[in-house]
């Protein structure tokens, strides 16, 4: 195992835990908010397990995802907007827990947690199918079009997985207002997909044909 890569992965995981916990518990005014503990568990425990497996079996993939940087101005804007969306959504959910704003019933929150884990499983399958998957929009050396499995159904199965996960999060937290904010992910991810498709059509051989064969971006017969 690459020990430097493992240390980098652990450091980023722990930073993610701390930042997310602060975004949730500081607005909530305390640590007694069970919804936040549930979200932290379903978010970071599978992430840690998946990261450990990737370190052992696919270190190049985890290295690529940890160190990728966006070079396109439009895509950097998408990252900024996504980060702002999470900050506002989590802060509002925490304030709602503090001040007793309307919430989703507990069974609905638990169903959303199951949906989130299903989205995680879908994300893992996408990682297995596409070795070129990166956090940054780019054309990689020796990259070719992946058009089998989930990629034969929709163009962006990774974004389909994140759509399930992101829209589940505010429901896990029990916050209708937070869910309303998280719905801004739809136009944000649409912007990212359009930019990604333009770049790949110009720089990746065969991608234009793939766009013509696979019509749906995220959800078959819907989007």
The verdict on residue 222 lying in a domain is no
Within-domain flag for 10: yes
Q: Which domain holds residue 165?
A: 3-213
Domain presence at residue 173 = yes
How many structural domains are present in the chain?
1
Each residue's pLDDT expressed in tens, for the chain with a length of 223 residues: 678 888 888 999 999 999 999 999 999 999 999 999 999 999 999 999 988 888 888 787 777 766 666 566 557 788 899 999 999 999 999 999 999 999 999 999 999 999 999 999 999 899 888 877 765 556 666 788 999 999 999 999 999 999 999 999 999 999 999 999 999 999 999 999 998 999 899 989 999 999 999 999 999 999 9
In a domain? residue 220: no
* Pairwise CA distance, residues 182 & 154, whole Å: 22
Structural domain includes residue 218: no
């Amino acid at each position: 195992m690459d020990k430097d890569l493992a240390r980098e992965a652990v450091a980023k995981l722990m930073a993610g835990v701390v930042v997310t916990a602060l975004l949730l518990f500081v607005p909530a005014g305390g640590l007694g908010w069970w919804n936040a503990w549930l979200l932290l568990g379903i978010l970071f425990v599978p992430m840690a397990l998946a990261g450990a497996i990737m370190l052992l079996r696919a270190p190049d993939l985890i290295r690529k995802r940890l160190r990728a940087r966006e070079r396109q101005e439009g895509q950097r804007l998408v990252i900024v907007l996504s980060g702002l969306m999470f900050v506002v959504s989590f802060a509002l959910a925490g304030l709602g827990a503090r001040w007793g704003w309307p919430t989703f019933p507990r069974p609905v929150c638990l169903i959303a947690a199951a949906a989130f884990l299903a989205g995680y499983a879908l994300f893992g399958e996408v990682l297995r199918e596409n070795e070129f998957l990166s956090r940054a929009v780019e054309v990689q050396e020796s990259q070719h079009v992946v058009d089998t499995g989930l990629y034969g159904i929709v163009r962006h199965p990774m974004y389909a997985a994140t759509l399930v996960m992101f829209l589940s999060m505010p429901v896990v937290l029990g916050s209708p207002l937070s869910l309303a904010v998280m719905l801004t992910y739809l136009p944000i991810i649409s912007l990212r997909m359009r930019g990604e498709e333009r770049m790949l059509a110009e720089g990746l051989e065969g991608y234009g044909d793939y766009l013509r064969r696979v019509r749906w971006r995220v959800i078959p017969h819907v989007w």
